[in-house]
Structure 1
Amino acid sequence: MAAFDFNNDSHRRYNPLTKSWVLCSPHRTQRPWQGQQEGPQLEKRPTYDETCYLCPGNQRANGEHNPKYTSTFVFPNDYAAVKSDQPEYIKPSRQQQQHNTNDSQQQDNGDGLEEEEDDDLFCVDGVRGECHVICFSPRHDVTMAEMTKDEVKLVVQEWTRSYKSIKQERPWIRYVQIFENKGAAMGCSNPHPHGQMWCTESVPQEPQQELVAFHDYQTKHGQDRCLLCDYVKRELAQPEKRVVMQNDSFVCLVPFWAVWPFEVMVLSKRHCTDLLDLAGADNGKEQEDLADILRRIACRYDNLFECSFPYSMGIHQAPTHGDADQLKSAHLHLHFYPPLLRSATVRKFLVGFELLGEPQRDLTPEQAAQRLRDCSETHYKKTLKINGAS
């Protein structure tokens, strides 16, 4: 029998961050594809759009007007997913349940069913928080791929200021999830370059799973060890496999366990726990390096299929408030989850076996990394004439 070939034979890969598996089926890339494939998407947007509620000076949905900002701009989301002013949800006690039953009153969980104390089937937690919008640029017609490194650095600095402000002024908020949804394919309703910041009194599920994984890894390997520090060292020892690019402070790579075809992670090379840890180092050099690598991967994405490449990107870092182990063991990193598979119009969907069994991918992470390494960091729009302009 022939030797096992990772580029041709089915296998599963383990994700130590979420303690989950992904099925790799590289031979499926050989199957014919009859789906639609289009050429470059040369969308031309104005520098300023008077109908855009994110552009400087314009009126937003709640009637307020944006200032005529010239750099980054942060404001409370007019349609926040979580609120700070809602009443506290109090779980019913046994005594309260008995009292309510006698009075024919119930603690309704919203489904017409009474929640019981220590209920394993109908569990409820109230969630308070805040949501903010972070405009990356006053220009309506750019993306992170088309911004300069210095302009992206201003975004990194705004992320840091906002994280610091919440940490210092909102002791009841435990986690700040900073993210960007780019493109209509990711549900983004406004093309103006912007991201969001959802701040919650509980740690969301995905970062919580990672924090548990960090703790378990240290328990097994020693308190001086870090899961992602060790992982970065292993990847940098063989950069030709999954590393897409790197600089002095950060590495961008396709994770060994990636689910999405061109998913990448951006990881700090040293053990940084959060954006504040990053900001305090070497007079902002690490902030500049983060901006550099974010701009470069965004540019490579766009060049892959010569389109404005959609993705969801988010920062995972230490909670703003938590136990000492969580604050110490967290490792700053960013996830990029793009949906495109074969072209600008062919997307990856999690369906069938992937919903009912486990996630699956055709292109191996090593093949995806190579394709991203082959992409230029000179944005394709700069080499084409759009509407008569270079």
Structure 2
Amino acid sequence: MSAHAVTASTARTSVRLADGREIIYFDDEPGQDRSTPDRRDLPPYAPAAELRYDVLHGEEVLVAAHRQNRTYQPAPGECPLCPSHGDHLSEIPAADYDVVSFENRFPSLGGSAGGRCEVLCFTSYHDGSFAALPPERLATVGRAWADRTAALAKRPDVEYVFLFENRGAAIGATLPHPHGQIYAFPYVPPTPRRMLAAAERFLEEHGRCLMCEVVAREAAGPRVVAETDGFLAYVPEAARWPYEVYVAPRVCVPDLPALDAARRDELMRLYADVLRRFDALYEHPTPYMAYWYQAPARTKRDAAHLCARVYTPQRTADKLKFLATSETGGGAYINDVLPEAAAARLREL
């Protein structure tokens, strides 16, 4: 393991795992010893993803066949995201941690495809959740996300940093431990690319930010879920999913690194508030997908406006929304829940 680097003022420690991958500890407070070595015997890290292009759809496709062998729903006590203890040697060598980010052992990027994949664990507590994190941990997660966005965007093989979380077996999450992922793409993915194109057209035609316009309109309407001085959480007018919420700054902000610590902490508290409302929808934990749209690393940054999007396919306590062929094949989404009713329910929870 290489010598570790510590930034005391930000409680950030970077070390190496046994196969050469980087792991970064983000602590709530500085002064933690993160020098515990990785005692596993692992082969050298060699990502094998491949980037291909679908000429009919005009979109990139990643091929990562090695991911077939990734860890799936491990037995109790064998979670690779829990701290290492005794004979259980996990991805995190330390006996405990606050927030940690490390290169994914089974990445969808890297190798000839370029880019990088990281796993970011929100807590060492296996049975926790993002919604239950205390304010100081929310601040640490926000700091970690901003750190990784800024650092990965500087890489020459990265054009877009995408932060996301999949929670719940119902939507395909392979590990129950509270965590998200970071995909540093070598290209701008199709959905952000379409959103940026729409924002650029609006900016050219009207001379102002499209998302600023949307947020101002939604702030005065019936679809507000929660809000703070600087940020708004709302159900979009044309929501595609039974319960879907955007969380966005009221003014133009391109990405998380552009926020100062106080504003970032405010945003993280509102984001967690939205997730708690999702969890209160049903008697069981609500499965959801959540992700952040940010500005690309180098291009179209003037049209970008930071926002998070959270949605669940859980349309009733015992029913999931599955995408119909008209939706997957035609892209014509059909929502069974009135967005105004969804907003009212989330607002009341």
Shorter-chain TM range is 0.7 to 0.9
1:362–1:138 CA distance, 2 compared to 1 (3 A) = same
Alignment of 1:243-254 (within 5 A): 243-254=224-235
2:278 counterpart residue number: 301
Q: C-alpha separation between the residues in 2 aligned to 1:157 and 1:198?
A: 17
Q: Deviations over 1:339-369 (max 9, x none)?
A: 10011x2111111443455111121110110
Give the alignment partner of residue 184 of structure 2, picking from 191, 199, 206. 199
Give the 3 Å change call, closer, same or farther, for CA 128–60 of structure 1 in structure 2: farther
Please tell me whether the aligned partners of residues 180 and 313 of structure 1 are also in contact (alpha carbons under 8 angstroms): yes
- Tell me the equivalent position of 1:331: 305
Partner of 1:132: 118
CA distance in 1, matches of 2:123, 2:220: 37
* 5+ long unaligned stretches in structure 2: 1-75
User: Is contact 2:242–2:342 with CA below 8 Å preserved after alignment?
Assistant: yes
Q: Give the match for residue 177 of structure 1.
A: 162
* CA-based RMSD: 2.0
Distance 1:191 1:370 in 2: 30
1:58 Cα offset (Å): 5.6
Matches within 5 A, 1:358-377: 358-375=332-349
Q: Structure 1: where are the runs of 5+ without partners?
A: 1-48, 87-126, 376-390
Q: Secondary structure at the match of 2:93?
A: coil
- Which letter does structure 2 place at the counterpart of 1:334? A
Kindly report which structure 2 residues correspond to 1:79-118, keeping only aligned pairs within 5 A, or say none.
Answer: 79-83=106-110, 85-86=111-112
- Residues 266 and 334 of structure 1 are in contact (CA less than 8 Å); yes or no, is this contact kept in structure 2? yes
Which of the numbers 140, 143, 155 marks the counterpart of 2:129? 143
TM-score by length of 1: 0.67
What fraction of aligned residue pairs are identical, expressed as a percent?
34
Amino acid at match of 1:231: V
Q: How many residues align?
A: 273
Native 8 Å contact 2:166 2:289 kept in 1: yes
Q: 1:308 to 1:59 in 2, by over 3 A?
A: farther
After the TM superposition, which residues 284-299 of structure 1 pair with which residues of structure 2 at under 5 Å, given as runs? Answer: 284-299=261-276
Greater relative CO, 1 or 2 (CA 8 Å, sep 6+): 1
Q: Deviations over 1:254-276 (max 9, x none)?
A: 00011001011111111101111
Q: Distance in 2 between matches of 1:189 and 1:320?
A: 29
Deviation at 1:60, TM superposition (A): 12
The answer to whether structure 1 residue 216 and structure 2 residue 215 are counterparts is: no
Distance 1:148 1:287, change over 3 A: same
The C-alpha deviation readout for 1:98-155, integer Å capped at 9, x for no partner, is: xxxxxxxxxxxxxxxxxxxxxxxxxxxxx32110000001111110121112212211
Q: Does 1:350 align with 2:323?
A: yes
Misfit runs of 4+, over 4 Å: 58-65
Tell me the amino acid that sits aligned with residue 334 of structure 2: Q
| Matching residue of 1:319 | 296
Between structure 1 and structure 2, the one with the greater Rg is 1
- Structure 2 residue 256 is the aligned partner of structure 1 residue 229: no
Distance 2:232 2:240 in 1: 19
Measure the CA separation in 2 of the matches of 1:270 and 1:330.
Answer: 11
Q: Aligned equivalents of 1:215 and 1:157: distance in 2?
A: 29
Q: Check conservation: 1:54, 1:60, Cα contact below 8 A.
A: no
Higher relative strand content? 2
Tell me the TM-score normalised to structure 2 length. 0.74
